[in-house]
């Protein structure tokens, strides 16, 4: 019996769909976030979920399982163990400790699970780090402040969570820069846990003790609060301070012409890590091995910096976003593919 043209087309289409289904890949990836104290972390998870969804257009089904909560290190180790029990293909973790995960990451590797850390480096030889160099982050803000103050003045620092790997690297970065500039005096440093309200209170206290300071090194998550205290004290013409990448702060920075500069740690870092992880799960090999960093297992992403020269461009990217939304970037799938052979 003759097959009609329409039936022939239908048969070809069915064969094509069958071939596509046979080529489709399925990966399950666990996302672990051990601290939920800022909208930055929420955006980080959302951008990673969006990156997973983008793979479907390439015939790759990426299911993400999220464990995100304020937990101590043992609690986050439990995240990893849960993922191992679920049989995920990869784990992407924003870790609460640089060293405590070594044993559990070894268990993941033994189970055939790829582990990628992001936003904070880890010592485990069984994990890869994909994210910015936080020491370079701290150094960039310090270099901007030193230049802005013409190499002379008294400054204070408001740091993040004491003991957190990212915070400790940032502090070491700015101290390394300051050591080269003896006329810049760091008169005090405090911790405000990447919390805007705590940053505001810390700055208020520091201004009361050191009314004649010239500059402030303050990390993202706290800078808007610190600047609020500077503005309340009517010292915006006297103080230069590092800033935020959130829309509400960038709008304020633009409107009031603040003397600020912001190093960017994009919340898209977990999405970048996810895109790298999927390509590794596909068996692709990096052109350049991930051997950077103190643990020799890091792939560093570019660190953008916002100052007066590109503030308008940053503000444009954030048009229409809510005030808590952060300036971001990430390795797209195509960007990540370019890193592989």
Q: Give the tens place of pLDDT for each residue, 214-234.
A: 999 999 989 999 999 999 999
Q: Is 13 exposed, middle or buried (0-12, 13-18, 19+ CB in 10 A)?
A: exposed
Q: State the architecture of 2-132+267-305+321-338 in CATH terms.
A: 3-Layer(aba) Sandwich (3.40)
| Chain mean pLDDT for the chain | 92
- Residue listed under structure tokens 């972390």: 41
Confidence of residue 38 (pLDDT cuts 50, 70, 90): confident
Asked whether the domain spanning 134-263 has the same topology as the one spanning 2-132+267-305+321-338, the reply is yes
pTM for the structure as a whole: 0.89
* 282 pLDDT higher than 50: yes
At the top level of CATH, which class does the domain 134-263 belong to? alpha beta
* 6 pLDDT higher than 60: no
- Domain positions in the chain are 2-132+267-305+321-338, 134-263
pLDDT of residue 7: 36
Q: Give pLDDT tens digits for 119-167.
A: 999 999 999 999 999 999 999 999 999 999 999 999 999 999 998 889 9
Mean pLDDT of 86-109: 97
> How far from 305 is each of 84, 121, 198, 200, 244, CA to CA, in Å?
38, 21, 24, 23, 11
- Residue listed under structure tokens 């070491």: 172
pLDDT of residue 164: 86
Confidence of residue 24 (pLDDT cuts 50, 70, 90): low
């Amino acid at each position: 019996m003759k097959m009609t043209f329409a039936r022939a087309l239908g048969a070809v289409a069915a064969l094509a769909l069958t071939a596509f289904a046979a080529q489709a890949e399925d990966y399950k990836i666990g996302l672990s976030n051990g601290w939920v104290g800022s909208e930055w972390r929420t955006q980080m998870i959302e951008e990673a979920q969006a990156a997973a969804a983008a793979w479907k257009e390439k015939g790759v089904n990426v299911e993400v399982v999220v464990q995100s909560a304020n937990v101590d290190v043992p609690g986050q180790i439990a995240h990893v163990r849960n993922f191992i029990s679920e049989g995920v293909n990869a784990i992407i973790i924003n870790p609460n400790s640089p060293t405590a995960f070594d044993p559990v990451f070894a268990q993941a590797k033994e189970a055939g699970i790829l582990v990628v850390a992001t936003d904070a480096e880890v010592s485990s030889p069984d994990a890869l780090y994909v994210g910015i160099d936080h020491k370079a982050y701290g150094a960039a803000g310090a270099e901007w402040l030193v230049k802005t103050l013409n190499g002379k003045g008294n400054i204070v620092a408001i740091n993040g969570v004491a003991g957190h790997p990212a915070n400790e690297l940032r502090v070491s970065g700015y101290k390394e820069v300051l050591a080269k500039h003896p006329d810049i005096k760091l008169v005090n440093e405090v911790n405000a846990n990447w919390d805007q309200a705590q940053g505001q209170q810390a700055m208020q206290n520091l201004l009361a003790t050191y009314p004649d300071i010239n500059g402030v090194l303050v990390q993202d998550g706290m800078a808007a609060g610190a600047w609020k205290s500077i503005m309340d004290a009517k010292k915006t013409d006297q103080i230069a301070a590092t800033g935020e990448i959130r829309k509400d702060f960038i709008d304020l920075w633009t409107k009031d012409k603040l003397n600020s500069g912001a190093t960017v740690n994009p919340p898209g870092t977990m999405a970048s890590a996810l895109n790298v992880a999927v390509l590794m799960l596909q068996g692709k090999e990096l052109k350049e091995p991930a051997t950077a960093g103190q643990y020799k297992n890091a792939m560093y992403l570019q660190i953008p910096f916002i100052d007066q020269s590109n503030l308008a461009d940053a503000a444009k990217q954030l048009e229409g976003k809510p005030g808590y939304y952060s300036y971001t970037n990430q390795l797209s799938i195509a960007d990540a593919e370019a890193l592989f052979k």
